[in-house]
Amino acid sequence: MGRYLILGAGKFGRLALARLSREDEDAAFVVVDRDPGALAAARAGTGPLQARWVEAEAGAFLKRHLTPGTPWDWIIPMMPGHAAFAWLRAGPLDSGAWEITPAPGAVADLAPLAQRGPEGELYLSRAAHLCPDDCGEPETVCPVSGESRETPLYAELAGLALPGFRVLVLPSRQLAPGVGGFPPGMLLALARDLEEGSGSALVATACRCHGVVHGVRRKAGGPG
């Protein structure tokens, strides 16, 4: 029996619920969304599930509940934006020791499509097409374009050598068609790695084809 924390109750959160419950009939879910209407729609649109529905911001929820003894096996980010970074800024980065900085432009060279977000983060995609929502994340070739996928984007990000930056990557692993996630322990380990270093860092979450990268730097003379 898998225990899943799904962050987001919109279209993709509902897909995650449906697909994971089909693959694991005994699965247990916690579904978090700040929108009570989205939670109600997700609850109404699913069959019998072991599920708890929580109205909360994802980062704030993780700040309260993510610990080394957390009961979930997997965190499934199905919300807009960068879920892991939302937790970091609500918790580990909330000490006043860090500030957000734009991700270097060189990061954009890893993917044919790269878009800046409002805080200078970069959203990366290897696909110039709309990916099917049930993509099986093939290990060698994209089923739509035929392009090579032998080296995952998360591996390319981890291998980046950028002067002045440490690169911390949270790989998202596919758990069902179109559904990816990571164990809670990996997110806690990423935060520890960030806190133990100095200077600037890139914090990324990525699967084989898509990712998001935030930049942070430790303030000179700040706490910590």
Q: In angstroms, what is the C-alpha Rg of the chain?
A: 18
Which listed CATH number (3.40.50.1860, 3.40.50.720, 3.40.50.2030, 3.40.50.1000) goes with 1-80?
A: 3.40.50.720
Domains of the chain by residue range:
1-80, 82-224
Q: What does the alpha-carbon distance between residue 169 and residue 62 come to, in Å, rounded to a whole number? A: 19
Q: How far is the first Cα of the chain from the last one, in angstroms, to the nearest whole number? A: 40
pLDDT tens-place values along the chain, 224 residues long: 799 999 999 999 999 999 999 988 889 999 999 999 999 999 987 777 899 999 999 999 999 999 999 999 999 999 999 999 999 999 888 888 899 999 999 999 999 999 999 999 999 998 877 776 777 676 677 766 667 677 899 999 999 999 999 999 999 999 999 999 999 999 999 999 999 888 899 999 999 999 999 999 998 765 54
